[in-house]
Chains A and B, each alone.
Chain A
């Protein structure tokens, strides 16, 4: 298939060359620090020839022989206009200067450049720059990527103290979270209070909510693609911040006579501080390190090495100790084959693991997921009308669901090792972006994905091939009868899956500043996070598809209307979507997922569907910038009995997923009053999370037992919150290298007790039934001092 593609490319190249066209290619950098700029637009004035830089700052334009003005622009930067005489292929590097003509601290949140936004057939995508993330008030002053994307339409989470985020009614495990291309299996520190991404080292964050491009695969809801800075290649720079809860420090600078650069960053929270019972011997803290280096061998070859190491440590009186975290490494080689063909080869290693020690029962548990990933991606600038992305990837996974061991000789726990699981996931893709006419742009992609569940473990067999059986007398699902085990050798394959995943995007320009878009994507997901709790926990176990579990398959249809007003000062983005996911795992009543070798006896596979309307109004320029996001949506699931018989889970009826939010409003804004003072604020309103309330009670064994019926038929009270922040930059000498700023923030300014959960139980003293609300954060004021040297 790849061979055919190359043949096509060669044929097209010949055609192109016969027309006496020439190509300009090169990179766009930030003048201040040499960082490559992703998403800058490079256009030839008064032509339709143009494009945007890729993630490595690379661009390539092809036009007939002639003299042109080349325009390089990126919002917040001064546009470069330069005359080029196109009589030969050439290479040009542009360095954009930050816009200092206006004193307003302009920060854009618009994706790509204005023009590209209207024309780009890609939909359901949001780009947030690090500077924007830093403006959004954060709880306890710790700037947070995952919290900032929740201000976008279609993105929610389960409130304070919950891991991850939910996109368009999808589950936490349906997001592909990438840090410099490495898969992050848990993006939360301290059960979701903070995210694992240090805002000081992040260049930009791109979130695909739908219409996921063909170069990504493996998760059905979204892709969160986070890129780390390469480091300042011009000057040495120190950045840091001292907060009430955590501190951070980063250093970056040039290497090898400005041929390379590095960035190193560390962050840590203080132990004890936010523990309620500080007098006890408890600790809860996290730390993380980021490192990245880049080296430009020559104009056509660049190397990058990046890594992340993060850890959470919790210890409660030695009764319970828990530590978990991600480790990733990535080695990348950018190679420009010629002025039209850009390539990147990556080798990535990732490890997510956790340990638990439960002192009071003498149990020690370790678990991990390791993956090795190789990717080779190409971008071919075929003509000024057509660019083609293509590539291949392979990921090898090693799952260790758990080694259970006794802590010491006194422990009555027996050693127990759960079966290790292995799998290989591979993908081949091609994506063509083509201008059909001046008004119509199309992006068509196809991904072919393969998943091989590798042997090296026994697989259980069941009577009638039923791991779960419906007991019609008692109206419950039960474990099937195990008949034996089939041992698979490491060289054998337990199960194989493959899928064609077409992706399609169309953009039709209605006018200079408005367009309509249509999108379709089909995505396969071969890994599943087993979690039957309301909030995902760091201890939830990932499991690969195999003999009993089929891959999740999503189809998403979307349509949108995009408009810019007053020369790009305001923009309106409206999208509607409809998404279905097949083979979504659901859990039988009373399912037991922990330390279970035969997960298939606890689950059934059903379907889920989600649909909604998203509206985003943004003010991109001026003293006041910000946006209003509104989402109206529905997310539900249904799991029939299937092979197990019976009506299915929840009597086979559709029911709300825990991520269903009818209304979701986010308002965020920042206002620059003077050079010294700027202010920002957030307001969030969300329909309460679906929960299951009791519908009755009875007495059994002297206990009041709650009666439950339909799942998720009730809702918590609505969630709403206002956050405020003020930034003060003291007077400083114009040439002083030390630049400091104070950030004062108030999280939950009107001190609303938003229910993270409502639990139903008996009063300890009276035995009377009562409902208890748990609210995680009341009003939280904080102050942080940030510095730059």
Chain B
């Protein structure tokens, strides 16, 4: 919510500024680090037994082609209540998968990655997710008055602090959009979040026929802050953005603390919807 206030300022400069252009910039490259993308998502209505973890290393900022997949690690997840270990199979393409994961609400899980003789661990608790009540399509809402937006509605429980992450992905787009939502000003209310696409012209906006995949996750406060910082630094460098800083996740290198990893180990339930946009009157 609060980011909208900064976002509004960015909007103002976009209206006022006369030009933006893509330029070549020399940027430094730091030594590579391990990146752990361990998102154990239990989609409502499924068993949640199929899970995948992705390992890679960082590369130069403008390097689009390097093969940075990590194929020589050993990955497992343990359920702490009964020390049940789920081993992940190395697919030799940077992904590690299992078909035997047992997802249980409120259980705490611990990730262990063995990579180049160093052990990385992280723990997270599986939270129940608020179901999506309704998804609608409209034009008059959002920021742009005539652009199509998708609205997602869900009820926030009033008796606790809740944190949400929403993921919107238009099929065919190169990357998704994540939203971080806290109920700080919205506690106990029906929350509605809109997804709208903006670009240089109308062709960049959502179009009838587009298919939009939506995921709603209830997440821990720490993960919410992680996504909040991640989001605020996407396209960073605008005059009203905070100074970008290192984004640290929850994975700890227990062998050599200074050689920490990026990424996050999350275990969540998720409600998923898919909508096909229609022509509006």
Contact = CB atoms under 8 A, between A and B. Distances in A.
Given A356-B8, A712-B243, A705 B60 contact: no
Interface string A264-307: 00000000001111000010100000000000000000000000
A191 B64 contact: no
B174 A705 contact: no
A694 B60 CA distance: 9
B245 interface: yes
Task: Output the residue of B29, B188, B233, B239 with the most chain A CB within 10 A.
Answer: B239
Interface stretch (B32-40, B81-89, B273-281): B32-40
B116 interface: no
Q: How large is the interface on B (under 10, 10 to 19, 20 to 34, 35 or more residues)?
A: 35 or more
Interface string B23-63: 11101111011010101000000000000001011111111
A684 B61 CA distance: 32
Nearest to B141: A360
B4 A358 contact: yes
B27 A714 contact: yes
B61 A534 contact: no
A71 to B, nearest CB: 52
A753 B21 CA distance: 10
A276 B15 contact: yes
Nearest to B156: A412
B37 A693 contact: no
Interface stretch (A106-114, A232-240, A468-476): A468-476
Nearest to A695: B30
Contacts of B186: 412-414
Interface string A526-544: 0000001111010100000
Contact of A539 (B9, B57, B234): B9
Interface string B142-154: 1111000000000
B102 interface: no
Interface string B219-237: 0000001001110111111
Given A275-B16, A539-B9, A695 B61 contact: yes
B99 interface: no
A701 B25 CA distance: 26
A590 B225 contact: yes
Contacts of B144: 317, 319
A762 B225 CA distance: 22
Interface in A737-784: 753, 756-778
Contact of B28 (A275, A404, A693, A778): A693
B20 interface: yes
A185 B250 CA distance: 41
B17 to A, nearest CB: 5
Interface stretch (B72-80, B104-112, B127-135, B189-197): B189-197
B23 A771 contact: yes
A708 B4 contact: no
B176 to A, nearest CB: 5
A691 B4 CA distance: 23
A702 B187 contact: no
A492 interface: no
A592 B226 CA distance: 12
A703 interface: yes
B199 interface: yes
Contact of A701 (B20, B167, B188, B192): B167
A361 B22 contact: no
Interface in A317-348: 317, 319-320, 322
B100 interface: no
A590 to B, nearest CB: 4
Contact of A704 (B33, B175, B190, B192): B175
A507 B121 CA distance: 66
Contact of B243 (A158, A276, A532, A707): A532
A599 interface: no
Interface in A560-601: 587, 589-592, 594-595
Nearest to A413: B185
A26 interface: no
Nearest to B66: A697
A65 interface: no
B245 A711 contact: yes
A416 interface: yes
Chain A interface size, as a band, is: 35 or more
Contacts of B233: 706, 708
Nearest to B8: A320
Nearest to B183: A414
Contact of B228 (A416, A590, A693, A694): A590
A770 B237 contact: no
A192 to B, nearest CB: 10
B208 to A, nearest CB: 19
A314 B61 contact: no
A358 to B, nearest CB: 6
Contacts of B161: none
A193 B16 CA distance: 10
Contacts of A20: none
A770 B22 contact: yes
Contacts of B237: 691, 757-760
Contact of A698 (B27, B229, B262): B262
B18 A161 contact: no
A706 B62 CA distance: 10
Contacts of B238: 757, 759, 774
Contact of B57 (A190, A365, A698, A761): A698
Given A532-B243, A769-B64, A358 B28 contact: no
Contacts of B248: 474-476, 589
Contacts of B19: 753, 774-775, 778
Nearest to B232: A590
Contact of A700 (B30, B59, B194, B263): B263
A12 interface: no
Nearest to B1: A361
A534 B233 CA distance: 13
**A-B residue pairs, 3 tightest by C-beta:** A767-B174, A761-B235, A759-B237
Interface of B: 1-2, 4-6, 8-9, 11-13, 15-25, 27-30, 32-33, 35, 37, 39, 54, 56-64, 68, 141-145, 167, 169, 174-176, 178, 184-192, 194, 199, 204, 225, 228-230, 232-250, 252, 257, 260, 262-264
8 contacts: A533-B243, A534-B239, A595-B185, A692-B244, A700-B262, A704-B175, A767-B175, A769-B62
Given A275-B15, A404-B185, A694-B244, 10 more contacts: A190-B16, A193-B16, A317-B145, A319-B11, A539-B9, A696-B33, A699-B54, A707-B262, A772-B22, A775-B19
